[in-house]
Amino acid sequence: MAKIMKIAKFCSDLNLTSELSFCSLTPELAYQEDSSSQIIKFARFVSITPFPEVRESLTTSSNLLKLTQPRSTDVAEPYDFAVCVQPTYNYANVAEFLEWLEFYKMMGIGHFTFYNMSIGPRVSCVMKSAAVNAETPITILKWTSPIPDDNVLHLNGQLAQSNDCAFRYRGLSKHIIGVDYDEFLVPNYTHARNFGELINVLDTLWTSERRTGSLASYQFRMGVFDTSFENFPNSRNNSTPVNILKFGLYDFKTYRYVTRLEFVFPFRRRSKLISKPRSVIEPGLHWMDEAVGDEVEFQVPPEFAYLHHIRRFDECMDCINLPQRGDVTTHFYASELLKRVQNMVVTLARECDLE
């Protein structure tokens, strides 16, 4: 039998006079107990009620949700592309982070949001550095899952995080991308050399084939570049630590790991998305969950771009025995990427104790 539970929360909002006001936020949560005594929860709706006066006790609350009024649709968003990184636990590889960060900046990312569960001090220093933020602003959000239930919210609350990302950037960025630190969304440089060019190519492809519906999301298939596969010739051995002050081309993950499983995973299996915040209600993780109106998702052919997932792929214990193929597309971007990373290392070496 379903039961109803109401939990009082609070939110803050900036009104037209830019004065901080408060309201109550009361989600109504339906839940039921099954025969195994497990509680299954279903969010129903959220009601927001203004307070006539600000309660003094609320001004010290540390869990306020600021609601922003999205820009009018005829006002351009400040950013073309923004990245949200899924909740991060125990991440401390500063060399790999700089490669990842500069790659996405090179692709045209104008803003980053990181959902922090546990990030190492040097990576955290890079994220907070004034030099980094002067070029591309970064927001770091402390993140904890509201309920310990991966079946409901996915790993570390990723479903809630992806929704937060979409609403956070609505009116601020035309597109959002959700990836992890070992994932590189790589355009085929014969079609496009950054995300702006890629979207233009994909939009043209969509309309040229006379498809119906306007686009809310672009879904990209995933290729596994298993780190147990053979490295690119002359590149650094996996067991050799990186000397970040002497960072070279052969230290890049995107340069070393260019052998993948021959097949690219099918759509909806570990795919990743570029979404339009104005056009999605729930962006989803591997496919679009819900769009605004009748807008649709474009399943992008991998010859235009696909996700390079560079990791030891635990789901495939015998990957080493499966058919493989090389893909050196990332080498096209390597020289410019190296300049960017080396410049950032020089800038941050003392501030962030890089070694």
Tell me the pLDDT tens digit for each residue of 225-251: 999 888 887 666 666 677 888 888 889
Q: Can you give the pLDDT at residue 215?
A: 94
What b/e string do you get for 300-312 counting C-beta neighbours within 10 Å, with b at 16 or more? bebebbbbbbbee
The CATH code of the domain that includes 36 is 2.10.70
* Cross-strand partners of 3: 31
Question: Do 121 and 146 touch, CB atoms closer than 8 A?
Answer: no
Render 23-71 in DSSP notation, one character per residue: EEEEEEEEEEE-TT--EEEEEEEEEEEE-SS--GGGGG-S--EEE-PPP
Give per-residue pLDDT as tens, 43-65: 444 444 444 444 544 444 444 55
Q: Is residue 353 part of a domain?
A: no
Stretch among 64-73, 160-169, 170-179, 242-251 having the lowest mean pLDDT: 64-73
pTM: 0.80
**Mean of the pLDDT values across residues 118-124?**
92
Could you give the 3-state DSSP secondary structure of residue 216?
strand
Query: Once rounded to an integer, what is the mean pLDDT over residues 121-131?
Result: 95
Residue 255 lies in a domain: yes
Number of domains in the chain: 2
- 315 near 226, Cβ under 8 Å? no
Q: Could you tell me if 130 and 251 lie in one domain?
A: yes
- Average pLDDT rounded to a whole number, residues 8-13: 42
- Reduced to 3 states (helix: H, G, I; strand: E, B; else coil), residue 146 is coil
Asked if residue 355 belongs to a domain, the reply is: no
Q: How many CB atoms lie within 10 A of CB 8?
A: 8
Alpha-carbon 286 to chain mean position = 12
- Locate 341 and state its tokens: 């990373």
What is the reported pLDDT for 189? 98
> In this structure, which amino acid lies at residue 335?
S
Beta carbons of 285 and 158 less than 8 angstroms apart? yes
Tokens standing for 194? Answer: 């950054």
Question: Residue 70: its pLDDT value, please?
Answer: 60
One domain, residues 36 and 154: no
Residues 51 and 139 in one domain: no
Residue 90: which pLDDT band, with cuts at 50, 70 and 90?
A: confident
Same domain, 295 and 263: yes
Q: Say yes or no: 314 and 169 in one domain.
A: yes
Does one domain contain both 291 and 168? yes
Q: Are strands 79-88 and 111-116 parallel, antiparallel or unpaired?
A: parallel
- 220 and 156 in one domain? yes
| Residue 69 resides in a domain | no
Instruction: Mark 20-57 as b/e (b = at least 16 C-beta within 10 Å).
Output: eebbebbeebeeeeeeeeeeeeeeeeeeeeeeeeeeee
> In the sheet where 183-187 sits, what is the strand order?
183-187, 305-311, 222-226
| Mean pLDDT across 84-95 | 89
Q: Which of 26-35, 95-104, 214-223 is predicted with the least confidence, judged by mean pLDDT?
A: 26-35
Q: Does 48 share its domain with 113?
A: no
Phi-psi region of 314 (alpha: psi -120 to 50; beta: other; left: phi over 0): alpha
Contact 258, 226 (CB under 8 A): no
**Average of per-residue pLDDT values in the chain:** 81
How far, in Å, CA of 125 to CA of 26, rounded? 37
* SS3 at position 8: coil
List, as one string, the DSSP characters of 147-191. SS-HHHH-GGGHHHHHHHHHHHSTTTEEEEEEE-TTEEEEE-TTT
- Note whether 126 and 94 are within 8 A (CB): yes
Q: Tell whether the model's pLDDT for residue 119 goes beyond 50.
A: yes
Range of the domain at 33: 2-56
220 beta partners = 272, 300
Domain annotation covers residue 185: yes
Nearest-angstrom CA–CA distance, 162 and 245: 35
